[in-house]
Amino acid sequence: MKEIKNFINGGYVAAASGKTFPNVCPADGRSLSVVHEAGRDEVDQAVAAARGALKGEWGRMSVNERVAILYKVADGINARFDEFLEAECLDTGKPRSLASHIDIPRGAANFKIFADTIKNAGTETFVMDTPDGTGAINYALRQPKGVIAVVCPWNLPLLLMTWKVGPALACGDTVVVKPSEETPSTATLLGEVMNDAGVPAGVYNVVNGFGPDSAGAFLTSHPGVDAITFTGETVTGEHIMQAAAVGLRDISLECGGKNAAIVFADADLDKAVEGTLRSAFANCGQVCLGTERVYVERPIFDEFVARLKRGAENMSLGAWDDPATTMGPLISEEHRNKVLSYYRKAEELGATVVTGGGVPDMPGDLARGCWIQPTIWTGLAEDSVIVKEEIFGPCCHVAPFDDEDEVIAMANDTHYGLASALWTENVTRLHRVAAQIDAGIVWTNSWFLRDLRTPFGGMKMSGIGREGGHYSLEFYTELKNVCVKL
Ligand code: NAD
Ligand code: 6OD
């Protein structure tokens, strides 16, 4: 059986405790590997390696040297594209068509974009008058923040991890990554690429394990960590924020969502249906930016629901490497039980199940996987748990609305504030409504169209801080003002 070890100080390290856990493919339940669970010892070693690397060759490198290395990391991922692709697809069950267009290319692009960002980043200067008339100049120096703990989820493992590691390394920090226990493979493989690209030992470290009483908690409470960047559930974000409070460490939190799509009667219906199908069902509904609430203007409600139903029923569930597959499984049996509990609850609450609502029959080995039907409901009250809580599965509730103010209020009636999608051909309305939606990103006539220079993050319970472009530099560096009296 393949073993996945921790990656510490440029080498692969077994768990001293001998503790391992299985890595299982959610598509068919097969064992992929055994993973060495990092205990306090391995987390200590990883943090010490990261701290040591700050003082070594890495800390002395010029920005141009770091940028050249980060380009090599990106090229290294692309050179081993198929290995990363297979590892990601087996860990998650997601289709090749998705991972080859999104996960792996973005995993590589995240290194280049932040290399370019740091290379082109300037800082402020202020010339000031002084009472003696000689004046002074203030200029800011952007310096690495230190050792960054990077705690990641399982839904887009390489993409979301490199979205943090890319800017951290560009800024001259060192990292200790804690991948999700469900998806350890690509973070581990990246260690080889880092070594081949010439990233000095200790700059990139990976500790595997779980959250509480395991690698996640050991890492985020470690006094040698200077800042924590986290993507995952809001409740985990709250725990991490508490851990970060000790020692006043900085945090970046990208958490859950309950995102609304709004479809106005003047929308291009083909685009709106296609976009909503993607936003509700891509990655089997396991995208934090995905749509779980759809509001459709009443004149087109019935037609929209009928077309969404047809689209959902045309999704092809299957093996990751089958070119016909458009939807994979959920990540685990535990997560399927959670999503199915919402499916049952929706029926108990009297929802109309437009399509789906259960577990599909899958052929052969796939019958052992965590499959679930794409599901559409109508008819629930806006205050029902189905409309209020993040489910993180391939499902959405569709409700009609009658006017703009009403739908803005409905869309904003949530504790979350991550993303939204508006569908209208009326440009004036599009700007007017976008400005009033409480979300960190509002897509109009599109979904998951990403320019990596733009601010990314959530309002309310969806997170704290923004990442992307120079916003990432704000988190991954310390600004120091130097005041020069002339
Ligand atoms: P999760 O919060 O369960 O786990 C995320 C990571 O945190 C894992 O590595 C886990 O081991 C670790 N962890 C758990 N408890 C911890 C603790 N007490 N201390 C330290 N580490 C701990 O999230 P998940 O189930 O992996 O991912 C799904 C969630 O992530 C959804 O809520 C989704 O909306 C959210 N998400 C948000 C974004 C975003 O950009 N806002 C992106 C992707 C996913
Ligand atoms: O595209 C990104 O940069 C990003 N952070 C996407 C998050 C997706 C959530 O599942």
CATH number at residue 475: 3.40.605.10
Place of tokens 């009483």: 213
Catalytic residue among 37, 88, 254, 297: 254
Q: Nearest C-alpha to atom 20 of ligand 1 is from which residue?
A: 216
Catalytic residue among 25, 152, 288, 370: 288
What pLDDT does 79 receive? Answer: 98
pLDDT class for 302, splitting at 50, 70, 90?
Answer: very high
Whether the CA torsion 442, 444, 446, 449 is positive or negative: it is: negative
State whether 34 and 68 are in the same domain.
yes
163 with 201, same domain? yes
Asked, for residue 171, whether it belongs to a domain, the answer is yes
CA 457 to ligand 2 centroid distance, Å: 9
Asked if 395 is an active-site residue, the reply is: no
Determine, yes or no, domain membership for 457: no
Tell me if 146 is assigned to some domain.
yes
Per the annotation, the verdict on 288 as an active-site residue is yes
Domain ranges, residue 269 = 259-450
**262-281 mean pLDDT:** 98
pLDDT class of 198 with cuts at 50, 70, 90: very high
Question: Residue 456 falls within a domain, yes or no?
Answer: no
What pLDDT, in 10s, does the model give residues 7-17? 999 999 999 99
* 416 plus 472 within the same structural domain: no
244, 281: one domain: no
Answer whether 210 contacts ligand 1 (Cβ < 6 A). yes
Q: How many helices (H) and strands (E) does the chain have?
A: 17, 23
| CATH code for the domain of 295 | 3.40.309.10
| Residues 117-144 as b or e (16 or more Cβ within 10 Å = b) | bbeeeeeeeeeeeeeeeeeeeeeeebeb
pLDDT at residue 116, as a whole number: 98
Q: Do residues 208 and 266 share a domain?
A: no
For the entire predicted model, the pTM comes to 0.98
Mean pLDDT score across all residues of the chain: 98
Same domain, 125 and 149: yes
Whether residue 125 sits in one domain with residue 251: yes
297 lies in some domain = yes
Q: Is 163 in the pocket of ligand 2 (CB under 6 A)?
A: yes
Which amino acid does the sequence have at 31?
S
Residues whose CB falls within 8 Å of the CB of residue 171, separated by 6 or more in sequence, listed in order: 114, 118, 142, 144, 145, 472, 473, 476, 477
Query: What pLDDT, in 10s, does the model give residues 83-141?
Result: 999 999 999 999 999 999 999 999 999 999 999 999 999 999 999 999 999 999 999 99
Count CA atoms closer than 13 A to 302's CA, side-chain side.
Answer: 1
pLDDT confidence band for 339 (50 / 70 / 90): very high
Q: Is residue 184 part of a domain?
A: yes
Q: Write out pLDDT tens, residues 222-255.
A: 999 999 999 999 999 999 999 999 999 999 999 9
**pLDDT at position 338, please?**
98
Question: Is residue 423 in some structural domain?
Answer: yes
Token pair for 171: 């800024």
* Residue 237 shares a structural domain with residue 323: no
Question: Both 479 and 418 in a single domain?
Answer: no
What is the residue with the minimal CA distance to atom 1 of ligand 2?
450
Number of domains in the chain: 2
Determine the pLDDT at residue 466: 98
Average pLDDT over residues 210-221: 98
Residues 122, 189, single domain; the answer is yes
pLDDT score at 36: 98
179 is a domain residue? yes
Q: Are residues 76 and 224 in the same domain?
A: yes
Same domain (yes/no): 266, 191? no
